[in-house]
Structure 1
């Protein structure tokens, strides 16, 4: 028998369609290859199903049969490194960016980035929301806000938020898609829902500045520099209602 690392490597190669790993036995030796083929197929189906659960909009966009083939192709270049399959798929968006059959659909990678970020947001650490009363006497020039660990800001090259929203259960087409890039705000709210919101340039600047540790006044100034008539209040209220502001310090 080969050493353990060698056996693992050869077993992995066998799962990818290579030669059978050494040491496999069966009561009928002629059955070894057939039985391993069944195991190989079950493993491929399991990976495809795990990826479909993590990227349901991609599956909807390309169709079930195409997605099954896509998942097999992805599994051939990036295997799970953890027994927790929900953690698999970090490189799926980049894989879609480079996948020749999807060259005519360049937004696919950005949609996958949204879906992967939603999974990470759902499993993010817990953090108690701040008491809104702290804003009553706070000095915006000194106040720094901490956002929930689930809060994610994604700069996307395509209108992927709009595409994602249109492919949610019960959603329907609502005219032409917006042109150009979108910025997505993703977070886990107090009901454990993970909404996706498209931000304008002012809102994106505000969230980005807060994530970088700017004061509230400084973040508002950056938002107004990006969008002259930007009003930070509606977004801040939305963050408070979602429980996404977790501390406020002067």
Structure 2
């Protein structure tokens, strides 16, 4: 089909105005405006459902009706670029941050980022995490020069809001209780085995992991963590690395991260 027809069809399908694309005819000779309207509604509903499936905690927080209205606005501004609906909505968090009716829930965009990271982790490459034995064999003299390759599913998110606690209380991980929304939390999202895990990182932990993810040697990562939080606990964070399964491999000083 000509590009001009595809453009007009897509504009009519996902545009804000309920227009009908030219060049479409039914075998009966009648203009199939009603059928197109049904198709348009089905497409909008399917994309909205994909967003809801990817963001169940967002739906729990705002309700199905609010999410459906927000999703409809999003779909019109951000039509899908891939046939894989599991990947649809990468811009949703930024959209929420600018969505005026959601301003009373300032943490909502970061919850969306957390849920998007959870989906990406679920579909990430499988990899066997490194166990404690791999760390036990390290040479103390060259410890600061090693680099750690993180698990391909790993993501680190930083937020001025308690996103891990909010997510856990609205996904069944924790019981609902009053919280102080001004208390920030950093999150680690990783799928070391079958299930995606979301963990709150200790002070300095996010800067530590971000530095390691950027290919910096352990010595530099420790420095970044201490600069971020003077009370950074190296022993506790190293134990967290092992326990969370976030490390895929230890690289010697001569090796480079992929």
Q: Could you tell me the TM-score, scaled by structure 2's length?
A: 0.87
1:165 is aligned to: 168
1:13 is aligned to: 11
Deviation, structure 1 residue 135: 2.1
Whole-angstrom distance in 2 between the partners of 1:170 and 1:197? 11
2:256 is aligned to: none
2:67 is aligned to: 67
In the TM superposition, what are the counterparts of 1:30-179 in structure 2 within 5 Å?
30=30, 32-138=32-138, 139=140, 140-169=143-172, 171-179=174-182
Q: Secondary structure at the match of 1:150?
A: coil
Q: Which runs of 5+ in 1 are unaligned?
A: none
Task: Check conservation: 2:164, 2:199, Cα contact below 8 A.
Answer: yes
Deviation, structure 1 residue 242: 3.7
Task: Check conservation: 1:110, 1:157, Cα contact below 8 A.
Answer: no
Task: Check conservation: 2:149, 2:250, Cα contact below 8 A.
Answer: yes
Task: Check conservation: 1:184, 1:196, Cα contact below 8 A.
Answer: yes
Deviation, structure 1 residue 42: 0.8
Deviation, structure 1 residue 170: 5.6
Note the alpha carbon deviations across 1:3-46, whole angstroms, 9 max, x for none.
62111111112213443222322244446111111111111111
Deviation, structure 1 residue 91: 0.8
Q: Secondary structure at the match of 2:148?
A: strand
Whole-angstrom distance in 2 between the partners of 1:46 and 1:120? 20
Does 2:193 match 1:195?
Answer: no
2:255 is aligned to: none
Note the alpha carbon deviations across 1:68-105, whole angstroms, 9 max, x for none.
11111110100000000111111101111111111211
Note the alpha carbon deviations across 1:169-193, whole angstroms, 9 max, x for none.
2632233235243221111121x22
Whole-angstrom distance in 1 between the partners of 2:171 and 2:237? 23
Whole-angstrom distance in 2 between the partners of 1:124 and 1:21? 39
Does 2:216 match 1:219?
Answer: no
Q: Could you tell me the TM-score, scaled by structure 1's length?
A: 0.89
Q: Secondary structure at the match of 1:240?
A: helix
Does 2:235 match 1:233?
Answer: yes
Task: Check conservation: 2:131, 2:245, Cα contact below 8 A.
Answer: no
Whole-angstrom distance in 2 between the partners of 1:97 and 1:178? 16
Deviation, structure 1 residue 131: 5.0
> Closer, same or farther in 2 for the Cα pair 1:18/1:174, shift >3 Å?
closer
Q: Which runs of 5+ in 2 are unaligned?
A: 253-258
The alignment covers a number of residue pairs equal to 247
Task: Check conservation: 2:202, 2:237, Cα contact below 8 A.
Answer: no
Query: Which range moved further: 138-147 or 222-231?
Result: 222-231
Cα RMSD over matched residues?
2.1
